[in-house]
Structure 1
Amino acid sequence: MEAREVMRVNRALNKMSQLYRASKARKLAALGLHPGQDVLLWVLAQEPDGMTVSQLAARLGVEQPTATRSLARLETGGWFRREPVPTDRRQVRIVVTEAGHRLLPAIEGVWTELAEETLGEVDEERRAIVLDALEQANDRLRAKVGEEALAES
């Protein structure tokens, strides 16, 4: 890759990351959420019986203390409850409440808006090419840094 193209790639990806995160933060703030909390709540909601903090952390690819901190920040919203695990008194199961389930369509709506605002004007064929290229780039980077890099961000 030539230096000029390298600069374009770096500038485009850095700017895209900043703008996407800022737009996502603005949209989620209207729901009382911060980036990352949307994914956490959505993942939790996929398990009707809930999951332990360690299960949630594993599913999100983060360390358990990170998941615990995120849950603590979310707790005031009333979007989940903690229930004891009958087979292990040291564990608690995190279960999404009805209020949390009612929030899911709005979260998915934010994701849809972001996708449409980001790539909506690009025709279907070019969008498929862009998505394939981004997924391949993610796979290459994941292989280089491993999933633990996600836990640090």
Structure 2
Amino acid sequence: MDASEAMRINRALNKMSKLYREAKARKLAVLGLHPGQDVLLWLLAQEPDGMTVSQLAARLGIEPPTVTRSLARLENGGWFRREPVPGDRRQVRIVVTAAGHALLPAIERAWAELAEETLGQAGADQREITLSTLEQANDRLRGIVGDDVLTEE
């Protein structure tokens, strides 16, 4: 690959990353969420008994203090509650409330809209090629930086 092509790829990927994150931020703002909070809430909702902060951090591939800060920002929405973990007074389980579950369809709709808007008129074959190429690129980058950098979002 020559330098010109490498520059073009780098520029396109950097620009797409920034634009996608901003577009996602705007869609989520309507729901009262910031990027990352959608994934956190959605992931929590998949566990009926909830998760501890440590479990959630491990699932997201981020540090527990980051989860704690995100939860603090989400707290006012009433989308989850904290419950004690029997036998361990230091731990609490984070459990999604009915209000949090009610928000999930809107989160999933925002994700679907953004995916549709991003790929536009691409047909099924083009979408599959694009998705496969992005997944392969993510796998190669994960091999360089490791699994713990970013697992979801």
Pairwise TM-score range, normalised by the shorter structure: over 0.9
Partner of 1:149, secondary structure, is coil
Q: Which residue number in structure 1 is paired with residue 113 of structure 2?
A: 113
1:80 maps to what in 2? 80
Superposed, 1:66-145 pairs within 5 Å as 66-145=66-145
Q: Given that residues 28 and 35 in structure 2 are in contact (C-alpha distance below 8 angstroms), is that contact kept between their aligned partners in structure 1?
A: yes
* Aligned partner of residue 148 in structure 1, secondary structure: coil
Structure 1 CA distance for aligned equivalents of residues 127 and 82 of structure 2? 41
> Matched residues in 1 for 2:131 and 2:148: separation?
23
Provide TM-score, normalisation by structure 1.
0.96
Contact 2:79 2:99 in 1 (8 A): yes
TM-score (norm 2): 0.96
Structure 2 residues without counterparts, runs of 5 or longer: none
- Secondary structure of 2:34's aligned partner: coil
In the other structure, the counterpart of 1:41 is: 41
Query: 2:90 is paired with a residue of what secondary structure?
Result: strand
2:142 and 2:66 map into 1 onto residues whose CA distance is 20
Q: Distance in 2 between matches of 1:8 and 1:127?
A: 21
Query: After the TM superposition, which parts of structure 1 deviate over 4 Å for at least 4 consecutive aligned residues?
Result: none
Gap runs ≥5 in structure 1: none
Corresponding position of 1:13: 13
Distance in structure 1 (CA, Å) of the matches to 2:142 and 2:148: 9
Match of 1:22 in 2: 22
Letter in 1 for 2:73: R
CA RMSD of aligned residues (A): 1.1
Contact 2:61–2:149 under 8 Å retained in 1: no
Q: Deviations over 1:96-129 (max 9, x none)?
A: 0000000000000000001000113111111111
CA distance in 2, matches of 1:150, 1:126: 26
2:13 and 2:35 map into 1 onto residues whose CA distance is: 18
Query: Cα offset for 1:147?
Result: 2.6
How many pairs were matched up?
Answer: 151
